[in-house]
Structure 1
Amino acid sequence: MSQNIRNIAPTTVWNHFADLNAVPRPSKKEERIIQFMVDFGKKLQLETIVDKVGNVIIKKRATCGMENRKAIVMQSHLDMVHQKNATTNFDFNTEGIKMVVDGDWVKAEGTTLGADNGLGVAAIMGVLSSTDIPHPAIEALFTIDEETGMTGAMGLEGGILQGEILLNLDTEEDDEIGIGCAGGVDVTATKSYQEEKIGENVAGYAIAVTGLNGGHSGMDIIKGLGNANKIMNRLLFGGYRKYGLRIAEINGGSLRNAIPRESFAKVIVDNAHQVSFLLETETLINKIKEEFSTIEPNLSIDIQEVETPKKVMEITVQEKFIKAIYAALNGVYRMSADVDGLVETSNNIAKVIVKQGAIKVGCLTRSSSESNKWDLANSLRSCFELADFKVEFSGTYPGWLPNMNASILKTLKSCYINLFNEQPKVAACHAGLECGILGQNYPEMEMISFGPSIKGAHSPDERAQISSTQKFWQLLKEVLQNIPEKE
């Protein structure tokens, strides 16, 4: 890690972030980061609680003169998305993130940075450890497993928190105030198949789709970025329809909430069709690259002859599988009729695995409308069930409905205008924030979301803007000093 990071202003935020990033913190494996936060709270001699699912709550009394203000909950999640470039040698379970400064940005060496939501956590730590920042009574809530199911927020029981206002520090544009978000549901299609032994006079090929931008499957879905699973399926479809291509293996995508950047397949083609297959595939590759040349300039599609696989998927299953992936919607399903430019409903075909007689397709369907969320989920279910897949819904969570009359919204807007002499954007986002879930057990709690500018979240291109973090920290301190009085 570059020592320069600890010298960046605000030093308290970047030092806490550096300490945080030294601790491995993959989703569902948060034991070490939970203990790290417990030790942090106890070292400050603050009341520190770990609830039954692993969320950490650290309480700090109001500073002198702020006792009559509404108590607040400051909230961020402890886990981070683990993504790395194919050429990066890195173990997320044992290594700390290697960070570097690049101009006005902090990024990692070939991996995700963890600024989502580590900068929010670090900012809260900065407030908790401060001796000169005025603030009302604080309950700092550090949730677990936000990225792979939001089980921390779901497991937080009602009655534990007493705060009247929640500040969620998990927004990724510094000029935006979040007042609503999308809900989601995981749609998983599975099927077993018989493997068939191949005959003679065939050649094996490895196809690799790499170099895509990837990104957040909610916030970035509107950009029309390439989906490696969809691109791979176009290649397989063309090869099968014209030249009888057979599939041995597919490994595409990774996390449900990340637009897939890479997909790898092993296939076979009869020797008699090799030349035509390669020419036709190269033509299709060039067309796909041309389609994505503006938005995905680093897209690479490579096909190489390899040792011939010993077994392939049975042909009737293969045909239905390829057609199902082709038919399944990926991308924006419906735009909001009420908020200009906001995606209402979308789907990300996040992961496609074919290996040793088993197929698994994982999707994340998002929507700020519960009815449209289930409409799209049932559309996907129908698509895969027609291909004889078993389909399961899991991990469903609600959206967060905006409250334009919330006192904290008025406070945050006023602070932003006074500090920066411009109007902030007030918007809902097409991502899963924990506010919607927390609001189920705390329906009277006002909620707001804001944070520094972070680009490329959920991908190895993730980077946090230094000047924006300074702006965010200034705004956070101003908001804390202007929390409304108790009624």
Structure 2
Amino acid sequence: MNKEIRNLEPKAVWNHFSDLNAVPRPSKKEERVIDFMVDFGKKLNLETFVDKVGNVIIKKPATSGLENRKTVVMQSHLDMVHQKNTATVFDFDSEGIKMLIEGDWVTADGTTLGADNGLGVATIMAVLSSSEIEHPNLEALFTIDEETGMTGAMGLEGGILKGDILLNLDTEEDDEIGIGCAGGVDVTAKRTYSEENTPENTIAFSISVKGLNGGHSGMDIHKGLGNANKIMNRLLLDGFENFGLRISEINGGSLRNAIPRESAASVVIDSISKDPFLFETTTVINNIKEEFSTLEPHLSIDIEEISSPDKVMDLGVQEGLIKSIYAALNGVYRMSPDIKDLVETSNNIARVIVKDGAIKIGCLTRSSSETNKYDLANSLRAAFELSGFEVELSGNYPGWQPNVNSEILDSVSKLYEKLHGEKAHVAACHAGLECGILGQNYPEMDMVSIGPTILGAHSPDERTSISSTQKFWKFLLEILKDIPKK
């Protein structure tokens, strides 16, 4: 099927995307894709170098007649989110993405596609490798580790880039021009607990939550989708309060920037309570499925009898764990008072691990308001500290404040309307783009963000529209020809 994808238009973009998707590129393990990009630039005889943190920069002189235009930085990130369906056998560290065509969409076989932000990378590669596209002086910036820390953007030193305008190619709606985004901070709660021998006369069960949509923990947070960690915790609280349920292990969620799709727990109860426990839990499961029937039609919650584990948590810590997760906010905290329908502040309870005497809970708190970001983070910190957790706030990165008087925004907006006969949607997004961070060391750089339509980012349902990619490509080529003069 990858061969058919290479024949899609624009061929240059899809061929470079296919080449890129053959290279494993998880966040924080970008060595192979860095080498791939360096080799790409050097084969074109373009100035190519890697900065001290691993960002790749490739420079290309202007085509004839556009030397007097402002220099443009085209920017995308090299890493991708790794998520797969439970039944999918796939090794992200060694295999290339297996792509499929479904109507107007390109998707992957049971994994994330990597269109976020691989299509942006491939688009820049197509411009760099072309001998026909008109453009001003270009600086291609390929950053690392956008998805799990923004460390590439944070580590980019001032003075390396000379560009006047930055085109970030990481927006996921083709009718949108991005001019702002949310910042974020990681909230991590940890504590230890005493393991106790599993009581006698007990029976053990595994509880699994799966089949949820998942998705981007910023762009999809307002949709009310199921969070596997919250659903699991609801079941555990009911079992604990009604039947004295004891927890042995929990493994829920994965990456902070992905709404958790799955959670698994092993628990025990008194043998005498088996039948009423199963009846009660089945009732709760049916209630949850009914509540999510519209949004999560594939939600599956299963409970099965298993061999008894050797150890369980002590009751005091267990009660604090369950109640603190119940108290911790998941979802939208505040809508923007200034921009209609934009989430200002939110939290994703992304990861819950209970095993071998240690608990770790990972959250990602996002906001376009620095003060509200820390207000929510402190609310979460309080909920966990009341139960004896040590809480760390880390990985803070700023939002990107909109500039409605931007020259490049005015130029790009007019071009969009000229091409399509309607105005583009000029907006900020509730996701972490690198523009806000890059603007700290390059405060005079004028920035906008554009991209093709991508749905289901950060989940195995990720897909990108073929016709939208064609629309985006034509728009970008017009933008490059129309860059303002110096």
Counterpart of 1:81?
81
Residue in 2 that maps onto 1:118: 118
Secondary structure of the corresponding residue to residue 268 of structure 1: strand
| 1:184 counterpart residue number | 184
Q: Which amino acid aligns with 1:359?
A: I
Instruction: For residue 361 of structure 2, give the secondary structure of its aligned residue in structure 1.
Output: strand
Q: How many angstroms apart in 2 are the aligned matches of 1:415 and 1:118?
A: 25
CA positional deviation for 1:2: 2.8
Counterpart for residue 414 of structure 1: 414
Q: Equivalent residue for 2:225?
A: 225
- Cα distance between partner residues in 1 of 2:327 and 2:375: 16
Aligned equivalent of 1:143: 143
Which residue does 1:249 correspond to in 2?
Answer: 249
Whether 2:334 is the aligned partner of 1:334: answer yes
- Matches for 1:24-173 after TM superposition, within 5 Å: 24-173=24-173
Counterpart of 2:438 in structure 1 is 438
In the aligned structure 2, how far is the partner of 1:11 from the partner of 1:380?
A: 48
Q: Which amino acid aligns with 2:254?
A: S
Residue 266 of structure 2 aligns to a residue whose secondary structure is strand
Number of the residue aligned with 1:381: 381
Deviation at 1:411, TM superposition (A): 1.0
Provide the rounded CA distance (Å) in 2 between the counterparts of 1:33 and 1:81: 14
Alpha-carbon distance in 2 for matches of 1:302, 1:19: 40
Residue segments in structure 1 that go unaligned for 5+ positions in a row: none
Partner of 2:19: 19
Indicate the SS of the match to 2:484: coil
* Code of the aligned partner of 1:380: L
Q: CA deviation at 1:276?
A: 0.5
Could you tell me which residue of structure 1 aligns to residue 315 of structure 2?
Answer: 315
Counterpart AA for 2:271: N
Match of 2:10 in 1: 10
Which residue of structure 2 aligns with residue 394 of structure 1? 394
Query: What's the TM-score, normalizing by structure 2?
Result: 1.00
Partner Cα distance (1:50, 1:377) in 2: 35
CA distance in 1, matches of 2:411, 2:16: 27
Q: Alignment partner of 2:346: what SS?
A: strand
3-state SS of paired residue (1:318): helix
Q: CA deviation at 1:201?
A: 1.0
CA deviations 1:125-156 (Å, max 9, x no partner) are 00000111110000000000000000000000
Counterparts of 2:198 and 2:336, CA distance in 1: 50
After superposition, what is the alpha-carbon deviation per residue over 1:336-385, rounded to whole angstroms, capped at 9, x for unaligned? 00000000000000000000000000000000000000000001011100
Distance 1:380 1:68 in 2: 52
CA distance in 2, matches of 1:268, 1:217: 32
Q: In the alignment, what sits opposite 1:266?
A: 266
Which residue of structure 2 lines up, in the alignment, with residue 325 of structure 1?
A: 325
TM-superposed CA distance for 1:415, in Å, is 1.1
Q: Which residue of 1 aligns with 2:363?
A: 363
Aligned-residue sequence identity (percent) comes to: 73
Separation in 2, partners of 1:49, 1:355: 44
SS at match of 1:212: coil
Aligned counterparts of 1:222 and 1:192: Cα–Cα separation in 2: 33
Number of the residue aligned with 1:348: 348
Structure 2 unaligned residues grouped into runs of 5+: none
1:85-130 deviation line (CA, Å, top 9, x unaligned): 0100000000000001111000000000000000000000000001
Contact persistence 2:214–2:261 (CA under 8 A): yes
Corresponding position of 2:455: 455
Deviation at 1:200, TM superposition (A): 1.6
Q: Is the 8 A contact 2:2 2:18 kept in 1?
A: no
Q: Which runs of 4+ in 1 moved over 4 A?
A: none
Shift of 1:199: 2.2
